[in-house]
């Protein structure tokens, strides 16, 4: 409040209108919070990374180099950059358990 020329002008104008310093600080804090929110809330366009292959290729990185750097197999990098996974990984374990129980015949009731 003591260094920014626009804030000083705002403060002096509000003091001339009879505002208290407490009210001025309250309004300035609200303005700062609003600016920070707009900066963090993403009111800017984010790059589309639905397919990371062009980005990797533009940096001249091979699958092997990226895999060695991350400590994974090159096939995993291929899955990550295209956001695809094999069917065995996407299937939930409980889903396969439920499928097995549905197909297994129930034992007869013994009374």
> What pLDDT sits at residue 22?
94
The three-class DSSP label of residue 94 is helix
- Angle of the 5-16 helix axis to the 21-40 helix axis, nearest 10: 140
38 contacts: CB under 8 Å, gap ≥ 6: none
Same domain, 92 and 65: yes
Any domain includes 48 = no
Domain count, the chain: 2
Domain extent at residue 24 = 5-40
- Which pLDDT tens digit goes with each residue over 5-38? 888 999 999 999 999 999 999 999 998 898 888 8
> What pLDDT sits at residue 90?
45
Same domain, 94 and 57: yes
> What is the rounded CA–CA span in Å between residue 61 and residue 82?
15
Same domain, 96 and 69: yes
pTM above 0.85, yes or no: no
Same domain, 86 and 59: yes
Same domain, 57 and 98: yes
Any domain includes 110 = no
């Amino acid at each position: 409040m003591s260094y920014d020329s626009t804030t000083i002008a705002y403060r002096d104008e509000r003091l001339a209108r009879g505002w208290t310093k407490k009210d001025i600080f309250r309004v300035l804090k609200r303005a700062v919070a609003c600016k920070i929110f707009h900066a963090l809330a993403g009111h800017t366009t984010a790059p589309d990374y639905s397919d990371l292959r062009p980005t990797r290729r533009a940096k001249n990185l091979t699958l092997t180099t990226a895999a060695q750097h991350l400590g994974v197999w090159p096939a995993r990098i291929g899955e990550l950059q295209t956001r695809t996974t094999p069917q065995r990984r996407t299937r939930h374990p409980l889903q396969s358990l439920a499928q097995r129980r549905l197909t297994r015949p129930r034992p007869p009731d013994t009374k």
